[in-house]
A and B are shown apart, each in its own frame.
Chain A
Amino acid sequence: MKLQLMTMGFVAAVITAGAIAPAAAEGTLTVTSWGGSYSESQRKAYYEPWMAATGNKLVEEEYDGELGKLKAMKEAGSVTWDVIDVDSAHALSGCDEGLLEKLDYSKIGDQSKFLPGTALECAVGTIAYSTIFAFDTSVLKDAQPTTLADLFDTAKFPGKRGLLKKPFGNLEWALIADGVPAEKVYETLSTPEGVDQAFKKLDTIKKDVVWWEAGAQPPELLANGEVVMTSAWNGRIGKAITEGKPFKIVWDYQEFDWDFWVIPAGSKNIELSYDFIKFASDPKNMSQQSKYIAYAPTHVDAIGLVDPAIAPTLPTYPDNMKTAIPTDLAFWADNNEELTKRFNAWLAQ
């Protein structure tokens, strides 16, 4: 770990030294995001235009949403990430734990113009995404899944299913598939019996599940026939569809959530970070990202600028939203530790 930190510090030092030497006015910004087609969409919509517009250099890093590295960097006193794209759970917990800078919205834009719940103390929303499940229409030709219950129905749709290797999201789906009404899901999960019920439902498909961890895996699992259907982040499947893959998304009970830009506490490039976030939060720029990946903007003015042809592929499209369940982050902040331990014990059984 330490060795890794020192290497990272060394690499950062080399990069910074190299960047400072030619021109003092321009800087280098390190932006960390989720990789794959998601980073690609950010590269086209934000990174390249921002570099072209400002003359600054932007270095990309990739991660799987783990902030452990950030904490280690902070403890070692050398934070080399300047801007990070985080999920909502980390946007909240990172703020509570003092890992993230409190944002000054005067440097970003009008706070009231962001969708409710996306302009947070330490994080500003960048996209709306959702967890859906998808299948390959060339494999499931006749009978096709249309509801969440089909994901759990191995008699009707035999074969492997891909699921995220976390309790997060799966327990909710398990309860809904077991007949719990969507608005009662978190209430039920707060009781030991409710948790038992969710795991019992997951038991019914356990031997048929392939667990994935990185966002790029589900489209691959689906494409190489490893699974007949899989949960995924909708943009990853949407991207594969635009590339010609015969996939189809089932929006039933999609789990709706946000991604955010944050600045780590201790970043040495705060002004440049703000400049980038301001650029990426500009409605005109933000509306561009949906072109490259099927995620929806968080800025009210950007929503109207999105190409109407793309709109039906976005999680925010009214038809897709009919049965959507919003993720209860407070619940997960409290129970993630215990439920994950239980989930791991359950996996090991």
Chain B
Amino acid sequence: MAAVDVPGILTIDGVPLKAKLARADRTRKLRALGLVLPLFAFILLTFLIPLAVMTFKSVKNDETFGRLDRTKEALADWDQQTIPGEAAFAALAQDLQDAQKMRQAGEIAKRVNYEFAGAQSKFKAIARKVEKMQAGPYKEVFVATDKVWSDIRLWRIIHSASQRFTSYYWLSALDLREGADGIERAPADQAVFVDVYGRTFWIGGIVTILTLILGFPVAYLLATQPVHRASILMIFVMLPFWTSLLVRTTAWFVLLRTEGPLNDLAELIVGMRFDMIFTRFGTILAMTHIQLPFTLLPIYSVMKTIPPSHIRAARSLGAGPFHAFWRVYYPQTVPGIAAGCLLTFILSLGYYITPALVGGPRDQMVSYYISYYMNNVINFGQASALGATLLIITMVLYWLYNRLVGIDNMKLG
């Protein structure tokens, strides 16, 4: 809305027309803003702020920062190559004495244990010991209690844990770790996550392709049938869509069981039972079923808008059936395909309950591990680093997809 830029024109109450128009424009904008404000506030409070807070946890040493300040100071000039001197031991002893009083020693021990297996009990033992000590020398006591206290690697970890920020969780999410000479790969028996990400994207991709292959002809059928028949067929598509995810997953669990109906049928026909439950096959089957409407519906709604006369025109101009479909019809469905596939792919990346119930241990996706670190081992830092990595990779893919297909070309309906 461009204001009329003619100086001197006044409205009937003597106000310049320009100002009056600008005011009207402003009121309109404020009203529009007022309408989206509740949604914006909701998203901010329930999504953006918690997301930022949680993501921040993946770079902070919540458990140790501020609780090892004396040690941090004592280690400030440390060369990281030799065992620190008495001053550092005394500082750590004092920090642990305080922590013990505040019931924080356990958290410190747990944090160091992430990077140094076995540190937990050593910390607890030494914290109990120094609690009663009034004066040094501490170094002798530490080293006499356990030889681990003369391990330079442990001291390096204590030093890095006393800082405000840490790269540990992010490195660990990528199967890397801080070694003696910079960043190195984690040993094979500790490297889990890269494989898990690969698996997550692989399963998501397969499910997307399967839903497209299955959904496209069905969408075409729905779009080209007469209304009364299409609406009956539509019910079959929509009914599972309206059923809860958990119910559908549980139903698959029952169907796929070794003693379940599908295997009973298989035994009747081919005389043997198959492993379907707790397998990759079962996971992909159930996920494809659940995701099918998400891929199908955008394609269907785009197809509805394509006039049948286009195909007829192509045919009458001499194109064969395949040629007419491929050159005339298909290009017009691409926005729907793009929308459906992107929706299904991104939703598939976050699957948790279906792989957990129907899949085996090799089919668990990133969400499983996020939940595991969140709930079971209470390692919020690792959980949020995993979550943030997934978010970033998804956004990069979205960006790539946008470059290739173009989000503007996408139609959800």
- Chain A residues within CB distance 8 Å of chain B: 1-3, 6, 64-69, 71, 93, 95-98, 160, 165, 210-211, 224-226, 330, 333-338, 340-342, 344-348
Contact = CB atoms under 8 A, between A and B. Distances in A.
B190 interface: yes
Contacts of B107: 96-98
B361 A165 contact: yes
A337 B117 contact: yes
The 5 closest A-B pairs by CB, nearest first: A96-B106, A2-B50, A66-B375, A68-B375, A338-B117
B103 A98 contact: yes
Interface string B374-410: 1111111000000000000000000000000000000
Contacts of A334: 113, 117-121
B82 interface: no
16 contacts: A1-B50, A2-B53, A6-B46, A66-B376, A96-B103, A96-B105, A96-B107, A98-B104, A211-B360, A226-B277, A330-B121, A334-B119, A334-B120, A336-B377, A342-B190, A345-B188
B328 interface: no
Interface residues of B, number: 46
A342 B104 CA distance: 28
Nearest to A102: B103
B189 A71 contact: no
A6 B42 CA distance: 12
B278 interface: yes
Interface string B226-260: 00000000000000000000000000000001110
B138 to A, nearest CB: 22
A211 B124 CA distance: 33
Interface string B251-280: 000000111000000000000000001100
Most chain B CB within 10 A, of A64, A71, A225, A333, is at: A333
A227 to B, nearest CB: 9
Interface in B67-125: 102-107, 109-110, 113-114, 117-121, 124
A225 B258 CA distance: 7
A347 B378 CA distance: 21
Interface of A is mostly: helix
B192 interface: yes
Contacts of A96: 103, 105-107, 109-110, 124
A348 B106 contact: no
Given A224-B257, A337-B114, A348 B375 contact: no
Nearest to B50: A2
Most chain B CB within 10 A, of A67, A98, A330, A337, is at: A337
Contacts of B102: 98
Nearest to A69: B375
Contact of A335 (B118, B277, B375): B118
Contacts of B377: 68, 336-337, 340
A70 to B, nearest CB: 8
B195 interface: yes
B125 to A, nearest CB: 10
Interface string B205-228: 000000000000000000000000
B152 interface: no
Given A69-B375, A330-B121, A337-B113, A97 B106 contact: yes
A44 B278 CA distance: 35
A1 B113 contact: no
A1 B117 contact: no
Nearest to A226: B258
Interface of B: 46-47, 49-50, 53-54, 102-107, 109-110, 113-114, 117-121, 124, 188-192, 195-196, 199, 257-259, 277-278, 360-362, 369, 374-380
Contacts of A345: 188-192, 195
A65 B372 CA distance: 12
A95 B106 contact: yes
A66 B192 CA distance: 21
A348 B118 contact: no
Nearest to A6: B46
B317 to A, nearest CB: 56
A52 to B, nearest CB: 34
Contacts of B103: 96, 98
A1 B188 CA distance: 32
B285 to A, nearest CB: 18
Contacts of A67: 375, 378
Given A93-B106, A333-B121, A342-B190, A71 B380 contact: yes
Given A68-B376, A97-B110, A226-B277, A348 B196 contact: yes
A76 B157 CA distance: 29
A6 B380 CA distance: 18
Contact of A225 (B259, B278, B362): B259
Nearest to B114: A337
A149 B46 CA distance: 52
B46 A3 contact: yes
A71 B46 CA distance: 19
Given A68-B376, A97-B106, A334-B121, A348 B192 contact: yes
Nearest to A90: B378
Contacts of B47: 3
A346 B376 contact: no
A160 B257 CA distance: 13
A330 to B, nearest CB: 6
A341 B374 contact: no
Contact of A211 (B120, B199, B361): B361
B205 to A, nearest CB: 18
Contact of A98 (B106, B124, B375): B106
A71 B49 CA distance: 19
Contact of B54 (A1, A98, A348): A1
A93 B110 contact: yes
A97 B375 CA distance: 15
Nearest to A166: B376
A347 B375 contact: no
A69 B106 CA distance: 18
A98 B108 CA distance: 11
B280 to A, nearest CB: 12
A69 B376 CA distance: 9
Nearest to A331: B121
A346 B189 CA distance: 7
B121 A224 contact: no
A44 to B, nearest CB: 28
A48 B379 CA distance: 36
Nearest to A63: B375
A224 B259 contact: yes
